[in-house]
């Protein structure tokens, strides 16, 4: 082979290699989603995150998310004292912007005291905004035994199993605001 033909083969191989690398980068690299408007907040409502037997109505909004951008998948786990409260049901409101099509059956454990629920999109069509993630119905199973006594427990959003995911399935920054139940 002549020297010019060898140089041409080497140059062609280098050009082909660089072209393939460029195509691979274009096809397989995904943009990183950066939240420009702050951190989302998942919170337990009503006002002040405090439930009492005198102020909480049936079907009160329970778990909400605010200030979320690019949400594709979410899960909430709430821990509670099962000797005081029992979870009866969990639902995602039909008018919620986060009522995504894939909804695994909620997990309710009234022995150890937790409820876990969530939803996911089928295709990457993320949602922005604020709204209700779920409505949780509890039954009071223990009342104060003497006048003036108070029973209470935290309604804690589990830090490991409560998360928001973007379309790349990366956890998004989130602030968790727990709730509190009190029977006086």
Rounded to the nearest integer, the mean pLDDT of the chain is: 74
- Checking if the pLDDT of 171 tops 50, the result is yes
For the ranges 6-10, 112-116, 157-161, the lowest mean pLDDT is seen at 6-10
How many percent of the chain have pLDDT more than 70? 69
Using a CB cutoff of 8 Å and minimum separation of 24, what contacts does 47-51 make? 49/155, 49/177, 49/178, 49/179, 49/180, 50/179, 50/180, 50/181, 50/182, 51/155, 51/179, 51/180, 51/181, 51/182
Instruction: Bin 148: left if φ > 0, else alpha if -120 < ψ < 50, else beta.
Output: left
Q: pLDDT, tens digit, for every residue of 80-105?
A: 999 988 888 898 989 899 999 999 99
Question: Residue 180 above 80 pLDDT?
Answer: yes
């Amino acid at each position: 082979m002549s020297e010019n033909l060898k140089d041409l083969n080497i140059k062609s191989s280098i050009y082909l290699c660089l072209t393939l690398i460029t195509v691979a980068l274009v096809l397989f690299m995904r943009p990183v989603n950066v939240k420009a408007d702050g951190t989302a907040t998942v919170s337990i409502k009503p006002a002040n995150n405090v439930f009492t037997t005198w102020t909480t109505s049936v079907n009160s909004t329970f778990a909400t998310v605010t200030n979320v951008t690019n949400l594709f998948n979410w899960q909430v786990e709430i821990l509670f004292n099962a000797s005081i409260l029992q979870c009866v049901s969990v639902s995602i409101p039909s008018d919620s912007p986060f009522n995504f099509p894939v909804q695994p059956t909620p997990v309710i454990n009234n022995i150890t005291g937790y409820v876990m629920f969530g939803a996911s999109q089928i295709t990457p069509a993320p949602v922005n905004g604020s709204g209700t993630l779920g409505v949780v119905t509890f039954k009071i199973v223990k009342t104060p035994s003497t006048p003036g006594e108070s029973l209470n427990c935290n309604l804690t959003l589990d830090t490991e199993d409560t998360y928001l995911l973007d379309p790349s399935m990366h956890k998004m920054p989130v602030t968790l605001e727990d709730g509190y139940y009190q029977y006086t």
